[in-house]
Amino acid sequence: RGLIGDVPVLRVTRRGPEAVHFVPAALEPGAEVLLSLDWERRFDHMQQHSGQHLISAIAEQMFGFKTTSWELGRQRSVIELDTPLVTAEQVAALERSVNEKIRDRVPVTVRELAADDPEVETVRSRGLPDDHVGPVRVVDIKGIDSNLCCGTHVSNLSDLQVIKLLGMEKGKKNKTNLVFLAGNRVLKSIEQSHNTEKALTSLLKNGPGEHVEAVRRLQSSVKLLQKNNLNLLRDIAVLIARDFKSKPAPRQLFVLHRKEGDSEFMNIIANEIGTEETLLFLTVGDEKEAGLFLLAGPVEAVENLGPRVAELLGGKGAGKRGRFQGKAAKMSRRGEVQALLQEFISHQNP
């Protein structure tokens, strides 16, 4: 990444011996231009790539864990190790060892060999691409590793600053993924964690060592409140239904919206009122945005009206035995649905 003159390079790929640069605008052939590199990105990639070489070499030397692939991620990198299990003790020992090598200021050098040089066979490699031409590139970490590689690297392990192994994740096909950060990414991670810690200290009103316990207490409180709120909603649903049924002249249409409700709230009302004669249109959620709806009533009426109600509300739904319910994206159109239902009832009772 970088600039050719003032034209940004979006990506570079290799086609045989050619490095093909992708740019958003045409360049004049033969023009003299200044090339500028996105150095922050390049140095980050150098740190992660050299860090991967070092970790892979030490993991194989110490424990016999071979690296089968690796991924340079935007925020963290992952090395796939050909082993089903890596213990926490092994991770700690590996982290100590790689950081010792960084403190030893071990040189990293790059050399080129002819493709038919016998030494190529002795260098750690996953093999050459089928379309490779010209010499092969070998990256040496003095006394530690020698590896075929076309990537960019630091010139000394001290440029890595530090490596942090974040832990293990289960990989594919009985393998294990080792997650790591190198260099400036470690500093950025510490800064991000510190800022998060400061924010939590302010919100929770206690020190970092008490954050976890404070969050546990909050979770317990929220669960209790949710349980109490659900019980209250159930009671309200029953009272609404009983109030409706207590009216001397039963209505053929019952419409209700409650922002705090849920599917159970609507179904309790429908169960309590009964839907043999009354058509019910119930909604819960934000009045002007998304929510849930329930249409209940005589089976034939619901089968006829349900899909049209869902369409008006910009949502989807399904139903059976006199109930049609689903999600609504346009709750602000509830008035149009109510008009549709009233028109339907008026036609049923001229």
CA dihedral 205, 211, 214, 216 (to 10 degrees): 160
Q: What percent of the chain has pLDDT over 90?
A: 70
Q: Domain check: are 44 and 139 in the same one?
A: yes
Q: Domain check: are 77 and 122 in the same one?
A: yes
Question: How far is the C-alpha of 303 from the C-alpha of 297, rounded, in Å?
Answer: 10
Residue 216 inside a domain? The answer is no
Q: Domain check: are 117 and 253 in the same one?
A: no
Q: Is residue 273 scored above 90 in pLDDT? A: no
Q: Is residue 275 scored above 70 in pLDDT? A: no
Name the average pLDDT for the chain.
92
Using 50, 70 and 90 to split pLDDT, how confident is the model at 349? low
Please give the single-letter amino acid code of residue 131.
D
Residue 305 inside a domain? The answer is yes
Q: What percent of the chain has pLDDT over 70?
A: 99
pLDDT on residue 126: 76
Domain endpoint, select from 174, 197, 220: 197
**Number of domains making up the chain:** 3
What six digits make up the tokens of 157? 């392990």
What six digits make up the tokens of 186? 């470690």
CA atoms within 13 A on the CB side of 105: 0
What six digits make up the tokens of 59? 């993991």
Q: What is the pLDDT of residues 288-334, one digit of tens each?
A: 889 999 999 988 889 989 999 999 999 989 988 889 999 999 989 99
Domain endpoint, select from 138, 173, 197: 197
Residue 232 inside a domain? The answer is no
- Number of helices and strands in the chain (H, E): 7, 17
Residue 269 inside a domain? The answer is yes
Q: Domain check: are 65 and 10 in the same one?
A: no
What six digits make up the tokens of 40? 């922050």
286: three-class secondary structure by DSSP: coil
Q: Domain check: are 62 and 127 in the same one?
A: yes
Domain span including residue 174: 40-197
Using 50, 70 and 90 to split pLDDT, how confident is the model at 129? confident
What six digits make up the tokens of 224? 């209790």
Q: Domain check: are 96 and 184 in the same one?
A: yes
The domain that contains 328 carries what CATH number?
3.10.310.40
How far does the chain reach from its first CA to its final CA, in angstroms? Answer: 74
Q: Domain check: are 144 and 21 in the same one?
A: no
Q: Domain check: are 57 and 155 in the same one?
A: yes
Question: How far is the C-alpha of 98 from the C-alpha of 79, rounded, in Å?
Answer: 14
Q: Domain check: are 273 and 148 in the same one?
A: no
Average pLDDT over residues 227-238: 89
Average pLDDT over residues 40-49: 97
Which range (52-66, 93-107, 110-124, 199-213) has the least confidence? 110-124
Q: What is the pLDDT of residues 158-213, one digit of tens each?
A: 999 999 999 999 999 999 999 999 999 999 999 999 999 999 999 999 999 999 99
Domain endpoint, select from 179, 197, 215: 197
Q: Domain check: are 183 and 255 in the same one?
A: no
Question: How far is the C-alpha of 184 from the C-alpha of 199, rounded, in Å?
Answer: 23
Q: What is the CA radius of gyration of the chain?
A: 33
Residue 91 inside a domain? The answer is yes
Q: Domain check: are 53 and 31 in the same one?
A: no
Look at the pTM and tell me if it is higher than 0.75: no
Residue 226 inside a domain? The answer is no
pLDDT on residue 8: 97
Which range (22-31, 244-253, 294-303) has the least confidence? 244-253
What six digits make up the tokens of 261? 């409700």
Sort residue 25 into left (φ over 0), alpha (ψ -120 to 50) or beta. beta
- DSSP-H helix ranges across the chain: 39-63, 88-103, 184-204, 211-245, 263-273, 299-312, 334-348
Residue 213 inside a domain? The answer is no
Q: What is the pLDDT of residues 77-86, one digit of tens each?
A: 999 999 999 9
**Which secondary-structure segment (H or E) carries 178?**
strand 176-182
Q: Domain check: are 61 and 131 in the same one?
A: yes
Residue 215 inside a domain? The answer is no
Q: Is residue 250 scored above 70 in pLDDT? A: no
